[in-house]
Structures are given as C-alpha cells and as structure tokens.
Structure 1
Amino acid sequence: MTISENLNIEAQKYIPGGVNSPVRAFRSVGSTPRFMKSADGAYLIDEDGNKYLDFIGSWGPMILGHNHPDVREAVIDAAASGLSFGAATKIEVEMAKLICEVVPSVELVRMVNSGTEAVMSALRVARGHTGRDKIIKFEGCYHGHSDSMLVKAGSGALTTGVPDSAGVPEGCAKDTLTAIYNDINSVERLFEENKGEIAAIIIEPVVANMGVVLPKDNFLQKLRDICTENGALLIFDEVITGFRLGIDGAQGYFNVKPDLTIFGKIIGGGMPVGAYGGKREIMENVAPLGKVYQAGTLSGNPIAMAAGITQLRTLRDNPKIYEHIRSLGNRLATGIEDIIKKHNLKCSVNNLESLCCFFFSPEKIEDYNGAKTSDTAAYAKYFNFMLNKGIYLAPAQFEAMFISNAHTEKDIDFTLECIEEYFTKGDM
C-alpha cells in the first residue's frame, strides 16, 4: 500500500471524507487522492515521491508556477516581521493601490480571506446600495459556498432559488434567481417578472466551474446594458479570470466594466486571500464609511499581501508572461482538437488564453445543460490513465486546466503525446 493510500485511510478517521475540500477526494474519478509533499515550477511531488506535471496550479493562483523564488522570498521576509497583527499595515495599502491602478472599474477595494467571503460581502453591498433583495446568478456558475449561492436551477429557463445543499434553509435562497448562461432572454424574463426587485447580476465572465465555457454573442455587454437600464449592479466574479486573462482580467479582455468585482486566489500568490471592489460610490457603503458591515481579523494579512503583491507586480511588469501562457493554451487546445478529429472522438474542447477544458461530449459546450451531457465515466478512465503517466489533471470533468508560466512547449507536447496514446492504446 502506498503512503498516499495509508494517509487517505488515516485522514478519514478525523476529516469528513478524508479531505478539506470535496473534489480532492477523487470520488468522481473512482480513485484515491494523492497526498502532495512539495511543488516546484510546473510540477507536484507526492508523499511517495511520484512527480506530476500539474495542470491544476492550486485551482488557478499559481500563474507564475509553484514555489516561484520571488514570491517565496517575499513570504519569508514578511514572516520574519510577524504573522498577523490585527491592525493596519503598509503592504495592504500598496496592494489596494496596485489593484485600483490595473483594474479600471475598481476605485475602492476591501481585502478578505477567500473568494467565498468576497462574494458574500459584495452581494451584501449590492443589496445595501440598491435597497433591493433579489440576485440573479447563472446555472453552472460557482460563487463559493455561502448559503444564498448554493442554488440549483430547475429544468426551465429560470427559477426561484431552491437550496442545493443540506443545511441551507429555503429562506436563504428564496431571493436568488437563476438564469441560463449565454441566454439573454432568460435574464430579460427575470427582470420583467421581478421589476424593481433585483439588486444585482453576479456572473463568472468566463465560466470555469462547469469546465471552461466562454460568453458568446456579446453576452457580457448585454448584461451590462440590462443592469444599467434597470438600476441593478453587475458583479463579475473574477476569482478565476482576474489577472489571468490579462492584468485587467476578463473585464479588460472583453471591454465590459462591472460595478463590483470579486477577486481571489491569484492575488494571494498561493496564500489565502480574496477581495471585492468597485465604484467609489458603491464601496463607500461599506463600514466604517457606510452601513454595510463586514469585518475580518485576518483580512489584509501581511503574509498573504506579500505573496500577492509580488505576483501581481511580476505580471504587471512582464507582459511576455501572458504571451507565453496564451501560446501554450492555444497549442494545447489545437493539439486536442487534432486528436479529436483524427480518432473521430465524441469529445470537444473549449479554451481561452491559459484556460482549457477537454469535454467528453460531442457538442460544443455553451451552457450548463450542454456541460451535463459529458460522459463523466469516460473522463474518469482518461483521468486515471493520465495520472499514471505523471500528468495531474482536475479529478472531475467540470473543472479547468490551468497553464502557468512555468509550463513549457515540451510539457504541452508531452501531454498531447499521452492523450494520443490513450486514444490509440488506452482502455476506453
């Protein structure tokens, strides 16, 4: 029995399912988790000494690669001065200033500790600013595990909230309305049926939690227009896309300016951190300036700020990083498309810049219903084959592949060779 297998048995005695986040359990791919010991560049090493080419990157934040020397040194230097003060620090001011400088829609920003916390806080601000209660989210978009966002859509184009987790009272979700991603008609209907009641639309501008799904037909601009016309706020959840699609995120990439933006992961450079920010007049509702209360002992933690500001400055000052990861993302997606055509596979691929997803579905995936057509059993076989080849993919079909600056063309070509081998010789 491997060390990871023994650790999995031991972990289940003390941690629900043996993991501290469900997808890590590997249950959707019929396997057992690998327990990681270290990481460097584009690679992970588990407790058994196995080395994996990593396409998760801690679910996105490792855009420079694991254990980047500048980020590591910044953390070490900051830790030498203390781990947490519960008081204001210079570095959190520097971080806030940098975010406001590179993201045009953000005039004031508040640091928090996770994307989930940022979403919860931004929704409260939207409700406090507008004096309205209802929120529109999109089927298949994930915005963390706060109660009001754990909502499951019905089979129709829209629905009033239904809790999607045990322990969430219906009252917590009753003001969450669900629309269909890429379907502007479903959004218009919700506004028509809830006139003067909708505080905000929240959306992943590029969905990365049902695989990778791109906005089409000027969808984001249409949402911007609808919000403006109806006095509602547009909230971009850029936990995945922020600083990954470019230094100004998806809003810069698509040239659509939201009222509020959610950040996480990447601004921590691997440390726990999140943030929300937006127009000054909206953010001035936040205490101590306004009546929308939000607080956190570890918000703006100096260690997290040190890691994050080092990474963001590196990205800002080195635009060739974005050229590199874009090139690799296109190389990977094009290579997968060639394999699909060669073997006449019932598969498809979506990609944008350094985000990619290989769907085990023959249709081009444009929304949640399309994503659900994926053959998850086929993905599980593929995942385990690739894992045994030393390639660490997301242990679930409905996640993104993340490319970092540490990846090379050789890494991408090796990955494509393994995919080709699977469909040529693998047990499908």
Structure 2
Amino acid sequence: MGEGIVMALKQARSQKAYEKALSLMPGGVNSPVRAFRAVGGTPFFADHGEGPYLYDIDGNRYIDYLMSWGPLIWGHAHPEIVRAVTEAAARGMSFGVPTEWETRMAELVISLVPSIEVVRMVNSGTEATMSALRLARAYTGRPVIVKFEGCYHGHADSLLVKAGSGVATFGLPDSPGVPEATAKTTLTAPYNDLAAVESLFAAHGERIAAVIVEPVAGNMGCVLPEPGFLAGLRALTERYGALLIFDEVMTGFRVALGGAQARFSVRPDLTTLGKVIGAGMPVGAYGGRREIMSLIAPDGPVYQAGTLSGNPLAMAAGWTSLSMLAAAGDALYERMERYGQALVDAFVALGRRKGIPTFGVAVGGMFGLFFHEGPVTDYAAAKACDTRMYARFFHAMLEEGVALAPSQLEAGFLSAVHTEAELAETVAALERAFARL
C-alpha cells in the first residue's frame, strides 16, 4: 500500500459539519453535485490542498482528480500563483476602475486562443455563456439558440433545457422556474449528431442565432467529438448565417494551450472561458471577432457589466497561470494526456478482467471513466451507464485515498503536478477497488 493511502476513512468531523450545513443551506451545499446525492454517503469537507493532494477536515489525504472541477491546472496552492494573489491583495481587492492587470490579461488570452480578437472579462462561466448568447442574438437579429442534449452551459434560463451534469444527476425536469416562452427559444439535438442539426437548420434556419457546444463534452462524463462533427457545425452555421459558439469553460487551456479549437482546428465566432483562466479564482470571459464584440457596451448597445469583472486578484492569478502554461507549451498537455490514458487503460483492463463493462477516454488534462460497454458518444449512452456501479467504485476509490467526481456524468481532471508517483498509487488503488466490486 502506497504511503499516505487511506484504507478506512475517518469522517466524524465531516459528518458533523454536513449536519450543521444541512440546516443552513439547500442540501447543505452551495452547488448541487457536492452533496454526493448521485453516489450516496456524506460529502467530505476540505481543509486544504497541496499540489495534487486534497486534505479533508478529518485528516484524510486524497490524490485529487476533481481539481476544483477543472481550473486548478497547476494543482493546489502553487507557490507562484499564491504569491501573485497575495501581492495583488496587498494593493487592494477591487477598485471599480480599470487596472493594467486587465489589459495584460486580455493581451495574453488573445495571443493564446485562436478565435479571440477582443475579449470581455466576467465573473463566471455562466455569466460568460449568458452574455455570449445575448450578443449572438443581437448580432444576428434572431431569437433561437441550438444546444446539445447533455451539454451544460451554466444556469441561465434559456440554457437549462436538456442540460447534463447536475441536472441529469438529480433527474430534474427540463427547467422548473424557466418560463415556457424562454424554453421555446432553445432547440436541442443529440451531441455528435450532425444530421439532427442539419434538420433543425432546415426547419428553423432563418430564426437560429447561434449553435453553442462544448467541443469536448464534460457534463455527461468526458465525451469526444466524432471526426467531422465540429467542422460540420462550422460549415452549417456559416451556410445559414448563424454564429458558432464554443463553450470552452471546461476545455479552454485544458485539452490544449489554445483550447479545443486549437486541438481540432475549428475556429468559432465566439468563445466562452471559465475559472481556468483565473487559476481557480471566480472569473470567466467571452470573446471573438472584433465586429461582433464591438456591439458590447460601451462601444455598442448590448449591455453587460460587473463590478468585480477583471478584479486584480483574478487577473493576477490568471496571468501568472497562463504565462506558466505558455512557457510549458505542448509538452505539458502531451504528458497529462499520457497520464490520463494510463488511468483509462488500467480502468478498462480491470473491468475486462472482472467481467464488468468499462469504457474511458483521455484528452489533454481531462478524462472520463464509464461503467458501460463503450463507446460513449452522446447523452443517451452516458445515461445508460451503470451509475450504481459507479457509486460503489467512487466510494471504494475514496477509501483508497483517491478523489474522483461524485457523479459518473462529470469529467475527471489532471494537473501539471500529478507525477508518476501519483499515477502508480492511483493504479494500485484501482486494482484494490476493483477487487471489491
């Protein structure tokens, strides 16, 4: 057994903390998946993180593959990022007037993401996608958005239609609380089904403002685009005068330095980014062609604002993180993908050995593990996975000191500081976990 692996979890403090939280917050949490409803049991409460490790308040140590749901690409509490945030905080948390940090950050993002000529900083991925859709409707003068079943783009009203991730995990209706008229402005198609999108355009092309897509889906597990799917979306939107929006909140700086659009050589009109550009700080961004972005206030009539947008703490953390990624280059992403593929290969091989259907994918710093006789290419296949088996697997791995997503419909994430040592411990933990399944 590797050093630091925990075989019998102590959870007394987490249990007590959760009981208190239940009386104060819906489900005891501030974001639904944290409640462990998809896998059962009591969520552990974090105390601190260091590099690839997460420590809970009971003293358990985990190899962390959550990475705060993706943004911690340099792991927990990286010294250079902590230093940048500390120095920025000492000068002031927020000013409500411009700072040079915003300009430096914008310049760096534009230099790294192929499709972005002009960028606007916001405070979350939800805010980024919501704003990008408003902009797309204004630019085209059309009301309708096309999204894909199982793709989650934040909790704005028009996007909570056949969403994945937490919505799918809890089996909620399409979106209670969303007016029917709002829901009708969103059309859906199966992910990876280009023919279905063609049919939507044939029927509604003159009313469709944009197609929004996760270029690598991460909210129905990690699902790769089929060859030609993204290029087909690009061609369709161009033919009908609609915009193509890549939601790279999860994939941006995760699957490649320039995001999925760089990896798959497809350039969208607009791109949304999330907390990865702030090294985990609350931040998001949307950007794209200059002629489209010029409609945003104060240059144009499309209103969007935020007091904390571009705040110095997030900008300092993000600029430091992205600069480090730019210096590391493609070699870092290749190394993370080799690591992820090794995890996937071990998972699939163990499943075969035990007669348990398993499938997995790895791309850049993302991976997905499915209890399913693959492949998993869309939401229907993801929903058909054995979620009960995943719940047993999740808790077995947790007892072995490995923290995975508490839902099979979520992607896993690697960091630049996961090493061969953590890989060896994780593969050994997989073997022991499968022995108990």
Band of TM-score, shorter chain = over 0.9
Higher mean alpha-carbon deviation, 281-290 vs 328-337, is at 328-337
1:270 counterpart SS class: coil
- State which drifts further: 316-325 or 220-229: 316-325
AA in 1 matched with 2:261: Q
Equivalent residue, structure 1, for 2:102: 92
| CA distances 1:210-245 after superposition (whole Å, capped 9, x unpaired) | 001000131000000000000000000001110111
The corresponding residue for 2:312 is: 302
Aligned partner of residue 329 in structure 1, secondary structure? helix
| Displacement of 1:324 | 2.2
User: SS of the counterpart of 1:194?
Assistant: helix
Aligned partners of 1:305 and 1:353: how far apart in 2?
24
| 2:75 matches 1:65 | yes
Q: Could you tell me which residue of structure 2 aligns to residue 43 of structure 1?
A: 53
1:19-66 residue CA offsets vs partner (Å, 9 max, x unmatched): 000000011111111110100100011111111110000000011111
CA displacement, residues 182-224 of structure 1 (integer Å, 9 cap, x when unaligned):
1101000100110310000000000000001000131000000
Q: Secondary structure at the match of 1:350?
A: strand
The one of 207, 211, 216 equivalent to 1:201 is 211
4+ aligned runs moved over 3 Å, structure 1: none
What is the deviation of 1:384?
Answer: 0.6
Deviation at 1:251, TM superposition (A): 0.2
Name which of 261, 265, 270 aligns with 1:251: 261
1:380 is aligned to 2:382: no
Aligned partners of 1:294 and 1:111: how far apart in 2? 10
Kindly indicate whether the alpha-carbon contact (under 8 Å) linking 1:386 and 1:392 is maintained by their aligned counterparts in 2: yes
The residue number in structure 1 matching 2:126 is 116
Q: Distance in 2 between matches of 1:419 and 1:318?
A: 30
TM-score, with structure 2 as normaliser: 0.94
Q: Alpha-carbon deviation of 1:70?
A: 0.5
Q: Deviations 1:354-406 (Å, cap 9, x if unpaired)?
A: 21111011131000000011111111111111111111111111111101111
Contact preservation (8 Å) 2:143, 2:208: yes
Separation in 2, partners of 1:263, 1:116: 10
Specify which of 350, 353, 362 is matched with residue 339 of structure 1.
350
Q: Is the 8 A contact 2:102 2:310 kept in 1?
A: yes
TM-score (norm 1): 0.96
Residue number in structure 2 paired with 1:355? 366
Look up the match of 2:167: none
Offset of residue 346 of structure 1: 1.1
Pick the aligned partner of 1:370 from 381, 398, 407: 381
User: SS of the residue aligned with 1:196?
Assistant: helix
Cα contact 2:251–2:260 (8 A) shared by 1 = yes
Task: Find the counterpart in structure 2 of residue 157 from structure 1.
Answer: none
Give the CA deviation at 1:163. Answer: 6.7
Letter in 2 for 1:422: A
> Does the 8 Å CA contact 2:400/2:433 hold for their aligned counterparts?
no
Residue-pair matches, total: 418
Question: In the alignment, which residue of structure 1 is the partner of 2:33?
Answer: 23
- For 1:29, what is the secondary structure of its paired residue? coil
Quote the offset at 1:103 in angstroms. Answer: 1.1
Moved more, 34-43 or 357-366: 357-366
Match 1:279 to one of 289, 305, 308:
289
The answer to whether residue 187 in structure 2 is matched with residue 173 in structure 1 is: no
3-state DSSP class of the match of 2:94? coil
Q: Secondary structure at the match of 2:30?
A: coil
Tell whether 2:350 aligns with 1:330: no
Cα distance in 1 for partners of 2:351, 2:28 equals 36
Contact 1:92–1:305, Cα closer than 8 Å, also in 2: yes
1:268-313 CA deviation, whole Å, 9 max, x = no partner?
A: 1010000000000000010111111100010001101111110000
* Distance of 1:65 and 1:149 partners within structure 2: 30
Q: How does 1:408-423 map to 2 (within 5 A)?
A: 408-423=419-434
Q: Is the 8 A contact 1:350 1:365 kept in 2?
A: no
Q: Is the 8 A contact 1:150 1:163 kept in 2?
A: no
Provide the rounded CA distance (Å) in 2 between the counterparts of 1:288 and 1:163.
Answer: 38
Once residues 329 and 383 of structure 1 are traced to their aligned partners in structure 2, the CA distance between those partners, rounded to angstroms, is: 17
Most deviating of 254-263 and 187-196: 187-196
- Distance (Å, rounded) in 2 between the aligned partners of 1:221 and 1:166: 34
